[in-house]
Structure 1
Amino acid sequence: MTSVEDLSGSWELHGDGVAVPATVPGSVHTDLLRQGRIPDPFLDDNELAVAWVGRADWTYQRDVAWHGPEHERIDLVFEGLDTVARVDLNGTTLGETRNMHRTYRFDVTSLVGAGPQPLSVHFTSAYTEAERVKSLVGPRANAYPEPFQFIRKMACSFGWDWGPTLVTAGIWRPVRLEGWSTARLAAVRPLCTYAENAGKLDLTCEIERTQDRALRAQILLDGREITSLDLDTDAVRATLDIPGVTPWNPRGYGEPALYTLTVVLLDGDRELDRWERRTGFRSVEIDRSPDDAGTRFVIHVNGEPVFAKGVNWIPDDIFPSRMTRERYELRLREAANAGVNLIRVWGGGIYEDRAFYEVCDELGLLVWQDFLFACACYPEEEPLHSEVVAEARDNVTRLSPHPSLITWNGNNENLWLHGAMSWPDDLSWGEKYYLSVLPEIVAELDPSRPYQAGSPWSGSWEHEPNDPDHQTFHSWEVWNRQDYLHYRDSTPRFVAEFGWQAPPAWRTLRDAISDEPMLPDSPGVLHHQKAEDGNGKLARGLAPHFAAPESTEAWHYLTQLNQVRAVRTGVEHWRSHWPHTAGTIVWQLNDLWPVTSWAAIDGAGRYKPLYFALREMYADRALTIQRRDGGLVVAVLNDHAEPWTGPLRIERRDTAGRLVYSIIEKVEVAPRSVALIPVPNGDLLVACLDDQRALWFEAEEFADPGLTVTAEQVPGGLDVTVHATGLARDVLLQPDRVHPGAVVDKGFVTLLPGESTTLHVRAPAELDPGSVKDPWVLTDLASVLRSGSAE
């Protein structure tokens, strides 16, 4: 039986005149930070003060010994080395690495024994390697002034328009000694599909041997043997029908049923090795057929079309070794609780840890996985080509058990930007990867999942890659150059990226920035704004809707409100066009440090108001009022397996919110469909069906809403009740202004005259009810616009 000795834990780190204790998995930055050798790079402009770390060479050291049972073979296994490393054991070089995204295995049988042997992992700066490769293959264009396309490493560690430049190095995933005899399971690749009320398992097992013996593999599902395979060669493939299983379904479409699949490698009755994962059976297709409007892009799971209510995912920490299963589960449950059913793992980050995909499996979250290419021309020559192939084969195999993974995507924006930014094509730039190498690997190793060449991509060079009428589309003219109302100008087939910026929660911003006074354009605030002319775009985005804010607090409130209004405008417009528009993937769910960005959850894990708005606009049943053909309609959005029937109440109110008249219309909306109900124009329209409500403001008046606020102490926090005598637009309670650990259950709330709402504030400490009356804890749009400060 395979034996393992974990080598995670205590190591030593040496480099640039520094010698400190180190923790593996980890990184140089986290080790230096833990020992107080560098300042926190998340604070002020400390990012610049620690830039030297990424340009230095480093060595991790510890003694190792094999204390397990005697085996014919002892391997040293690294699940992740970041990035350019030489591995030495007792003075012997085992090998060199050039790829953060691969696993490495070295035979150390003759080098490791019962006594301790020195193990060293020498890391060369990623900058040194990138410049070396650049000198070999020549320069290539990219969207950022860093050489990330010359090295197989997390691209955004070199900085992005929402991230710091913190170029890491280290043993970033677990490391172990592994002892085995006779044979081991080198790879297991289960492709589980579902059709005609039965599951199908397409199973490939690859074997590494020390002896040529007749072996077999016992295959079990939930502990029950379903077959036994004779292993006459080093690779065997079997296709098995699995009757009686329940299909895995995405959120809102049924149970995400999972089964434990076990492969036991046997020599006679002696167990040599064991592989075990939770998996599920489902079929996945993407309808990319032509129609009169262009080319569809509709995800089908188990034969049923799914409207994708998605978010883009970036690494949740600039130092990904700090991620834990608990943190993955927290963030992914937050996505699910916001109504999300699809997570796109963006191509400038990493192939996430196994825990990420396991949690998505359990929650029924669909995963769209980019291969790791983003916003650049990538050389197709050696030494990169073979690394790309090895990396793709490694990760396609590693992620194959996960039913949540539904599509492989070749790259982020490279096919589009190559033409849009007039990047030269006299040198290789990555097209071969996306249109040949990667689809061939997926076709060989994972034909159960559809492959797409890129995002955006129109399907062929017959159309411009970012053509809204053909397949996937990224909407960035809005935000970069246009007001968010222009989202309504088009109906793309599938919106894979769009978004609007806002600063993080107030406490997150204040904790990261020591500027006094802290202003929208003070040095620390600008340092934590990485987008090109980001603050200028925020200001230009406010201008069509509000006067320039008079204080930092008003700027913070209004830019957060504008983010919510912008994203709501896009999602509700496009969702009302289902199935013509078959999905939206908001940029972005999360942040990896405290920054002004497009995220719904900020870098400290606090919810921006956008998070609560996502929960409303991605609800299975929702209402929205839209302009169609010169008039207004109520779009009744029913993404539910049952019809939605009932009395739709439509109210016309004046600008002060007073009722003018109301009508009731009986509606019956079929499952997974949208109904459009014409309504008259008016200054303020209100549509209500069951517990759902939609508002439409043709003209806006910001009179005093006459708010009264009462706060009651309850176990764990406060219940804050807000009553309005007038129209109260966009009431917001910011819980982090009461206590750094406080949370609330709602974002912006609009109250009609006479209405009340209760906001539930919870915190890890007792809260003073009077604190809700402190400046800017609770305010509303009229108060902000009247004075620029809370009243």
Structure 2
Amino acid sequence: MPYRIKKFFVFLLFLNCFYFFGQTSYRNLSSENWTFHQQNEVKKHKATIPGTVHTDLFQNQLIPDPFFGANEKELQWIENENWEYETYFALSESEFKNQNIDLEFEGLDTYATVFLNGNVVIEANNMFRKWIVSAKSNLKIGTNHLKISFHSAVQKGKEEAKKLAYTLPEKERVFVRKAQYQFGWDWGPRFVTAGIWKEVHLKCWNKAKIENILYEQKLLNSEIAKLNCVFTITTEKSGKYQIRLGEKPFPFQLKKGQNTVKIPIEIPNPILWWCNGLGVPHQYIFRFSLEQNGAILDEKELKIGLRTIELVQENDQKGKSFYFRLNGKPLFMKGANVIPPDSFLPRVTDSVYRSMVKEAKNANMNMLRVWGGGVYADDAFYDACDSNGILVWQDFMFACAMYPGDEQFVENVKQEVIDNVIRLRNHPSIALWCGNNENEEGWHNWGWQKQFNYSKSDSTKVWNDYQKVFHDLIPKTLDSLLSKTENRYWPSSPSLGWGRKESLTQGDVHYWGVWWGKEPFEIYNQKVGRFVSEYGFQGMPNLETLKKVISDEDLNFTSEAFKNHQKHPIGFETVNEYMERDYRVPKNIEDYTYVSQLLQARGMQIAIEAHRRAKPYCMGTLYWQLNDCWPVTSWSSMDFYGNWKAFHYQAKRSYENLLLAVQEENEQYKVYLVNDIFEKKAGKLELELLSFNGESLWETSKKIGVDENSSSVIYEIAKADFEKFDWNNIVLKLKWNDIKSNYFFAKPKDLKLSKPNIEIQHIDDFTIEIATDILAKNVFLSSENEVFFEDNYFDLLPNEKRIIKLSKAAKKIKVKSLFDTIK
């Protein structure tokens, strides 16, 4: 009989250096006194675990700040050296009495030989894997010595590359199972790290331990949820054991070694998990204990969300759909791509991941894509996505290259997949597993065969190796690890390159005609795919961000330090070209920084709103990119320190569940109302045409209703009706219930702006009221004590008053508008 759940309890476990799960205990070796040194050098230095060699060198003042100025170029020697880490730790007699003591490394970066009391116990070759070895036979009561020798990943990669008769794109990095972005990207520096990048433990256990739990959702409706919890248990010897959930014991006869057992559970009147904006992301928490003869041997907590997710691909008149159905409802995905939050990953705390996800939620997102050139994020990221209702598109860690297919590499990848899928599979936020980022597009569209002079046999071998990993190994491994309802796999993102017509009619697309193709922003209105999983445009961070890593005298476009914090080879050239199209290009760097952010926000607004208007043809928009790994000019909407650029504020507006947008089509201005909510809405549409000084030139109103989960044209204005007005001096003000937006008829550079008189009144320490006499375009508020403003870079209409919340009391508020850059 299945166990019928009546109540749920949240159990809190406080972790110290030494902590217990019944007869299972953990000893955190990360907190021991560690040292490191360059191989073959005598002098040792203090090390921090988790850490990297770069951060340890910096903390010991052996190198300058890697992020500052052009220091990156002077630190490339580090990647070519071998490094050794070691510690001594005491093991008590009581600890040694445990039947089993495992040495567990959560993460070793990357090629590492582990010595325990002089004996080699682990040969690691993958940053993404967990390394566990039975260690009791190599331990002793008293002082023990643990040493890890890290071998240069760059040199190892080059050695592997020489074994092939042909060259793979991206040289040594593709042979090395470590974070690919560390080898340098067009938004990130090259810091190829080494070190113990996650915690290291001793795990003491007796008789039996729970290896992992898989939950299978067998039935879910409004009346009942039927689940199976599938346990993998390792025992020292066969016998009678039981798993306890609450008051209910489940007895089992287990054999020596590894066992699989199932516990059926029923939940009456289940509460569903919903994504952000559509409901509560409810979770259930179970606490299981493994017992024998009344003694608790091990305990595990399982947190789940009850929901159904389907990837729907159905042929239609225009091609083939690509969308997600959550709990039976077609869902428009609004979100961004995520890269690692730092070049040096051990510095990324749980609070950084939580903050990143929270800011995505605050911008009305419901999906984040974990990009394949970084890392499988820490548990804190996925926990935050679960609790905030953010779905996750999870890439495996392969990007923009072709990879080897020899037996050793493929087996290494298989174990990597197993480790990470087991860790992540129970998270309700996981929506899709994706094989790689742009590998397939690169093979078909980037000219590698010609570039590397492949013979026919070379090409066949490279492509067959690709298929071996992404069309055979990974999907088969997922079949063995996931229940049918959770096994959603997509081999490569995008499925087709943006230069092919079919890329806009099926699958997902990375549309880079804007930026890479230098097409105008307006092309986004025409080039709309079924699911746009990448697109973007660069914007500079605020000067305050750059000043933290660039000296004042180097804050100019010609300095090496400044150029080093723009990794795209023609980045500023491209930004400038687009800026000349849409804005008057400022002469000073402070104004240029501000206008570059407006430019980025404008382009991305056009893209996002084009995608949303095209619903249900298009059902997803994930821009590139949410965050940065260091202070840099990039495609991000938030800078390295978490500060919102103009783009993030615009994303928040453009991702609202109810969106008013205007599009010029066929000599008409069409007013769209996009409704992402699963219920019909009714309200009063109010339109008013204003001159920039506040004169009302035309107005109308109409009661409008819209269907649930829809995009509708709710009003049309003939272009000829407004021809008598000065296009460069008017704005259309739109309002539907509480939803507001503005539409300008000319590009920003052509607007006839005058100096606004902007007044700010303090209602209290955390609230201001801001008003203007005439149009104030793109009002930017800032404070010397780094206050976060609830809204920013917004348009303030004549005689409009707006209430803005502040994160803390502002010492002095500065205000800028677009007019200030064209004086």
Asked if structure 2 preserves the Cα contact closer than 8 Å seen for 1:140 and 1:379, the reply is no
For residue 229 of structure 2, what is the aligned residue in structure 1?
203
Contact 1:503 / 1:509 at 8 angstroms: preserved in 2? no
1:30 is matched by which residue type in structure 2?
T
Kept in 1, the 8 Å contact 2:237–2:255? The answer is: no
Q: Distance in 2 between matches of 1:386 and 1:224?
A: 42
Equivalent in the alignment of 1:100? 127
Please give the alpha-carbon distance, in whole angstroms, between the structure 2 residues aligned to 1:343 and 1:202.
28
1:694 and 2:741 are equivalent in the alignment: yes
- Alignment correspondent of 2:787: 742
The equivalences for 1:244-283 within 5 A come to: 244=268, 245-283=270-308
The aligned runs of 1:319-398 (5 Å cut-off) are 319-398=344-423
In 2, are the aligned partners of 1:192 and 1:280 still within 8 Å (CA)? no
Amino acid in the other structure paired with 2:780? L
Identify the residue that residue 468 of structure 2 maps to in structure 1.
Answer: 432
Question: Structure 1: how far apart are the matches of 2:318 and 2:461?
Answer: 36
Contact 2:239 2:254 in 1 (8 A): no
- Name the counterpart of 1:91: 118
C-alpha distance in 1 between matches for 2:71 and 2:178: 23
Residue among 489, 492, 509 paired with 1:451: 489
Change (3 A) 1:118 1:641: same
**Structure 1 465/393 Cα, relative in aligned 2: closer, same or farther at 3 Å?**
farther
Matched AA of 2:472: S
Aligned counterparts of 2:604 and 2:69: Cα–Cα separation in 1? 29
Partner SS state of residue 744, structure 1: coil
Question: In the superposition, relative to structure 1, how do residues 49 and 465 fare at CA in structure 2: closer, same or farther (>3 Å)?
Answer: farther
The 3-state SS of whatever aligns with 2:601 is: helix
Compared CA separation, residues 302 and 230, structure 1 to 2 (3 A): farther
**Residue 554 of structure 1: how far off its partner (Å):** 2.1
Q: How does 1:510-659 map to 2 (within 5 A)?
A: 510-514=547-551, 516=553, 518-654=555-691, 658-659=695-696
Say if 1:315 and 1:349, in contact at 8 Å, map to a contact too. Answer: yes
What is the deviation of 1:39?
0.8
Aligned residue in 1 for 2:243: 217
Equivalent residues of 2:36, 2:83 under 8 A apart: yes
- The answer on 1:109 being equivalent to 2:140 is no
Query: 1:400 & 1:175 partners in 2: Cα distance?
Result: 23
Question: Quick check: 1:313 aligned with 2:338?
Answer: yes
Deviation of the 1:654 alpha carbon: 4.2
Q: Counterparts in 2 of 1:56-75, with a 5 A limit?
A: 56-67=81-92, 68-69=94-95, 70-75=97-102
Cα distance in structure 1, aligned partners of 2:217 and 2:193: 37
Change (3 A) 1:200 1:54: farther
Q: Which residue of 2 aligns with 1:674?
A: 711
Structure 1 residue matching 2:102: 3-state secondary structure: strand
Matched, 1:185 2:173: no
Q: Give 2:4's aligned residue.
A: none
Q: SS of 1:427's equivalent? A: helix
* Displacement after TM superposition at 1:403 (Å): 0.8
Equivalent pair of 2:554/2:562 in contact (CA under 8 Å): no
Of residues 293, 297, 301 in structure 1, which corresponds to 2:326?
301
Paired amino acid for 2:777: R
Q: In terms of mean alpha carbon deviation, does 186-195 or 595-604 score higher? A: 186-195
Distance (Å, rounded) in 2 between the aligned partners of 1:88 and 1:508: 43
2:801 corresponds to which letter in structure 1? S
Letter in 1 for 2:309: V
CA positional deviation for 1:687: 1.5
Aligned to 1:7: 29
Superposed displacement of residue 720, structure 1:
5.0
* 8 A Cα contact 2:550 2:561, kept in partner: yes
CA distance in structure 2 between the partners assigned to 1:427 and 1:630 by the alignment: 54
SS in 2 for 1:159: coil
The answer to whether the 8 Å contact 1:194/1:247 transfers is no
Kindly state the Cα deviation for residue 24 of structure 1 after the two structures are TM-superposed: 0.9
User: What CA distance in whole angstroms lies between the structure 1 residues aligned with 2:167 and 2:390?
Assistant: 36
TM-score when scaled to structure 2?
A: 0.89
> Residue 555 of structure 1 aligns to a residue in which SS?
helix
Q: How far apart are the structure 1 equivalents of 2:189 and 2:439?
A: 22
CA distance 1:711–1:526, change in 2 (3 Å): farther
Counterpart contact for 1:185–1:275, Cα < 8 Å = yes
Instruction: Percent identity, please.
Output: 31
**CA shift digits 1:20-72 (9 cap, x unpaired):** 11111111112111221111111101111222222211111011343354211
Q: Which whole-Å CA distance do the structure 1 matches of 2:109 and 2:90 have between them?
A: 24
For 2:512, the aligned partner's letter is: W
1:460-516 deviation per Cα after TM superposition (whole angstroms, max 9, x unaligned) = x9x969711111010111112212111111221000011110111220012211152
CA drift of 1:250 comes to 1.2
In 1, Cα distance between equivalents of 2:267 and 2:206: 35
Name the structure 2 match of 1:165. Answer: 190
Q: Which moved more, 1:376-385 or 1:79-88?
A: 376-385
In structure 2, what is the equivalent of residue 243 of structure 1? 267
2:513 corresponding residue in structure 1: 477
Question: What amino acid does structure 1 have at the position aligned with 2:646?
Answer: P
Instruction: State the Cα RMSD in Å.
Output: 2.2
d(CA) in 2 for partners of 1:713, 1:653: 28
Residue 333 of structure 1 and its aligned partner are, at CA, apart by 0.8
1:724 to 772, 782, 791: 772
Query: 1:605-648 CA distances to partner (integer Å, 9 max, x unpaired)?
Result: 21111111111111111211123344221111111233221110
Matched, 1:21 2:46: yes
Conservation of the 8 A alpha-carbon contact between 1:456 and 1:465: no
Deviation per CA, 1:187-227: give whole Å up to 9, x if none.
32224465233323343322323223343433x3xx45485
User: For the Cα contact (< 8 Å) 2:238–2:255, is it kept in 1?
Assistant: no
Report the 3-state secondary structure (helix = DSSP H, G, I; strand = E; otherwise coil) of the residue aligned with 1:516. helix
Q: Deviations over 1:746-777 (max 9, x none)?
A: 2211122222334444457x614xxx4xxxx4
SS at match of 1:349: coil
Contact 1:457 1:466 in 2 (8 A): no
The one-letter code sitting in structure 1 at the alignment partner of 2:131 is: Y
Q: 2:157 aligns to what?
A: 130
Distance 1:466 1:30, change over 3 A: farther
| 1:413 aligned residue | 438
Do the aligned residues in 2 keep the contact of 1:713 with 1:767 (CA within 8 Å)?
no
Q: Following TM superposition, by how much is the alpha carbon of 1:552 offset from its aligned partner in structure 2, in angstroms?
A: 1.0
Pairwise CA distance, 1:117: 1.3
- Distance 1:466-1:374 versus aligned 2 partners, 3 A rule: farther
The answer to whether the Cα contact below 8 Å between 1:620 and 1:637 also exists between their aligned partners in 2 is: yes
CA deviation map 1:374-433 (0-9, x unaligned)? 000111113311110000011111111211111101110111111111223243252322
Contact 1:589 1:601 survives alignment (8 Å): yes
State the TM-score, normalized to the length of structure 1.
0.93
1:603 and 1:622 map into 2 onto residues whose CA distance is 29
Taking the aligned partners of 1:620 and 1:229, their CA distance within structure 2 comes to: 50
Distance 1:726 1:715 in 2: 27
Amino acid in structure 1 at the alignment position of 2:759: V
Gap runs ≥5 in structure 1? none
Query: Per-residue deviation at 1:597?
Result: 0.6
Secondary structure (helix, strand or coil) at the match of 2:112 reads strand
Q: Which amino acid aligns with 1:545?
A: D
**Are residues 350 and 200 of structure 1, via their aligned partners in 2, closer, same or farther at CA, if it must alter by over 3 Å?**
farther
Deviates further, 252-261 or 617-626: 252-261
Cα distance in 2 for residues equivalent to 1:432 and 1:319: 32
Distance 1:465 1:108 in 2: 57
Distance verdict in 2 for CA 1:138–1:110, change over 3 Å: same
In structure 1, the partner of 2:6 is none
Deviation, 1:100, is 0.4
My pick for the range that moved more, 679-688 or 664-673, is 679-688
- Alpha-carbon offset, residue 269 of structure 1: 2.7
In the aligned structure 1, how far is the partner of 2:530 from the partner of 2:250? 44
